[in-house]
Structure 1
Amino acid sequence: MAVRWQETRVAVGHGIELGVKFGRHDDQDPSQPVIILLHEALGCIAMWKDIPEQLAELTGHDVLVYERQGYGCSTPISLPRDDDYLVHEGEVWLPRLLEVLDIQRCVLLGHSDGGSIALIGAATLPEKVVGVVTAAAHIYIDHLTTAGIIEAVERYQTTDLPARLAKYHGERTDTIFRAWSETWLRERKAPMDYRPWLPRILCEALIIQGRQDQYGVPEQVTDICEGIGPRAEPLFLESCGHVPQFEAREPFLTAVSQFMQRLSG
């Protein structure tokens, strides 16, 4: 079944437009859920590379990738960022995007920041979200998170990391990097804790993390699964760090494909 891809910008209110890439199968059953990809803190559509196409082919489902405000071709952001920006993404902007695009059923697949947003979104939209997959999601800031970001800041200041990120983000590179690093490292008004959202997730969940994830302890996975309950399945990928979709590509794609088959069954 052929997949037709379209890239555009979608207005979601308050003068904000989000960049989207939407792959639709010919003659797709409208009752089938759309897989929605939510990118990491330094991500964009292009940084998913061919993962959207692979998921569309392997699962037979339509796939939507979008860029949050400040990323890719979406409306710029200004600094400083609010401490609870991930909550706002999951409770406000994701629902608005689904409403504008008239998506009634979906599976949220988020990486890192996107995984945290996926969990909040699944809790916020139980009538629309029929499944959630996270890769390296965070529900709190642990010691590996902090150490990993401090190390990334050092690399940003001393290596060619800015140039490599600029291939994707151009003149927005510094703003995007600061929006991530400064927000996560500064003293917060209240600790980050997304565990209260987890019991409200009513759908099946696949919670993935690399065994060598340099930004999160294994308890991120076990605590997410404990909070959701028996509907959540943990999956640790061997020889894999913070980016399972590329560092453990085949096991990752297989796991997501099998998850989608179980939902359809």
Structure 2
Amino acid sequence: MTGTRFAELAWQGRTVRIEHQWLRVDDAAAPLMVFLHEGLGSVAMWKDFPQRLCDALGVRGLVFSRPGYGRSTPRAADERWAPDFMHRQAHELLPALFDALRIDTAGSPPWLFGHSDGGSIALLHAARHRTAGAIVLAPHLFVEDLSITSIEGARQAWLTTDLPQRLGRYHDDADSAFWGWNRIWLDPAFRGWNIEHEVAQITAPVLAIQGIDDEYGTLEQVRSIRRLLPATQLLALPDCGHSPHRDQPAAVIAAARGFLQDHHRPHDTRGPR
């Protein structure tokens, strides 16, 4: 793993700094896996999972914190995200980051690995941009009552427990990360958010993984992907909550390895090992 680096790019009318790390950077011919974190995630919150996955699959990795998270530029105090915030991350921010890092997505499309909100962003990006494939963990395609109940519980925990201090280990500005995510998900305008139409446009292969005990979404989320994209590979994990890569890392890595072996394209310079 390389040390933390920063890229500057234009985003929503200002220059933002994006924290990122490269994994297996010396393996230049290997395919690239891009990691997209959850709604309260960051580079640090992934811990060692991206390195473990990249080592097991023989791929390079790019891990980054979206604006408002980790050590990237915080959300402005008066900035409130709109219901299309994940669309903008997928269609504007991610391509801008690829350009800033000089990643040739046309010549060598990246693989995407997204968790929760990051899984939704991965799907939205794959619907419009060329990708080798997407692995999504606990993605959201629409808003469920279960999600709202758990996010309301997170708000109460933020106000009454040491959650701000614990989250502060992973973000320079924990308020930026928490309230950006929490306020938009609990905004009544967000209840009608739905990306099923966009997901139906994906042509790249998809592996969708979800814990049976996920407290933020039901299995209907990943089952809806299969209905829209019948070739989707599904994996429902027992004894697993909203973070399969933390609760069942070995199962996630094994499924990802099989997925890449099944779908690695011959024109890629080098395949997973």
Is TM > 0.5 for Structure 1 vs Structure 2?
yes
Distance, in Å, in 2 between the alignment partners of 1:215 and 1:111 is: 12
Offset from partner CA, 1:169-207 (integer Å, 9 cap, x none): 24x112221111111111107710111111221111001
Q: What residue number does 2:139 align with?
A: 137
Indicate which of 143, 146, 149 corresponds to 1:147. 149
Distance, in Å, in 2 between the alignment partners of 1:38 and 1:189 is: 21
Q: What residue number does 1:203 align with?
A: 204
Distance, in Å, in 1 between the alignment partners of 2:180 and 2:26 is: 39
Question: Aligned pair 1:214/2:218, yes or no?
Answer: no
Distance, in Å, in 2 between the alignment partners of 1:255 and 1:148 is: 28
Distance, in Å, in 2 between the alignment partners of 1:242 and 1:199 is: 24
Offset from partner CA, 1:53-104 (integer Å, 9 cap, x none): 1112101110000110111121221221112110100010011112222322
Distance, in Å, in 1 between the alignment partners of 2:220 and 2:54 is: 31
Question: Aligned pair 1:65/2:67, yes or no?
Answer: no
Question: Aligned pair 1:45/2:46, yes or no?
Answer: no
Indicate which of 7, 11, 16 corresponds to 2:8. 11
Distance, in Å, in 1 between the alignment partners of 2:55 and 2:26 is: 12
- 8 Å CA contact 1:116, 1:139 repeated in 2: yes
Q: What residue number does 2:125 align with?
A: 121
Distance, in Å, in 1 between the alignment partners of 2:217 and 2:191 is: 20
SS at match of 1:252: helix
Higher RCO (Cα < 8 Å, 6 or more apart): 2
Distance, in Å, in 1 between the alignment partners of 2:213 and 2:6 is: 36
Q: What residue number does 1:157 align with?
A: 159
Distance, in Å, in 2 between the alignment partners of 1:107 and 1:146 is: 30
Distance, in Å, in 2 between the alignment partners of 1:173 and 1:89 is: 20
1:173 partner amino acid: A
- 8 Å CA contact 1:108, 1:131 repeated in 2: yes
Q: 1:5 Cα deviation (Å)?
A: 2.0
Q: How does 1:75-90 map to 2 (within 5 A)?
A: 75-78=73-76, 79-90=79-90
After TM superposition, what 4+ stretches of structure 1 lie above 6 angstroms from structure 2? none
TM-score, scaled relative to structure 2: 0.89
SS at match of 1:212: coil
Q: What residue number does 1:259 align with?
A: 259
2:57 partner amino acid: T
**CA, structure 1 residues 190+249, in 2 after alignment: closer, same or farther (shift >3 Å)?**
closer
- Please tell me the root mean square deviation across aligned C-alpha atoms, in Å: 1.6
How many pairs does the alignment contain?
A: 256
Q: 1:33 Cα deviation (Å)?
A: 2.7
TM-score, scaled relative to structure 1: 0.92
Q: What residue number does 1:24 align with?
A: 24
Offset from partner CA, 1:215-251 (integer Å, 9 cap, x none): 0011101112222x23311110110000100111111
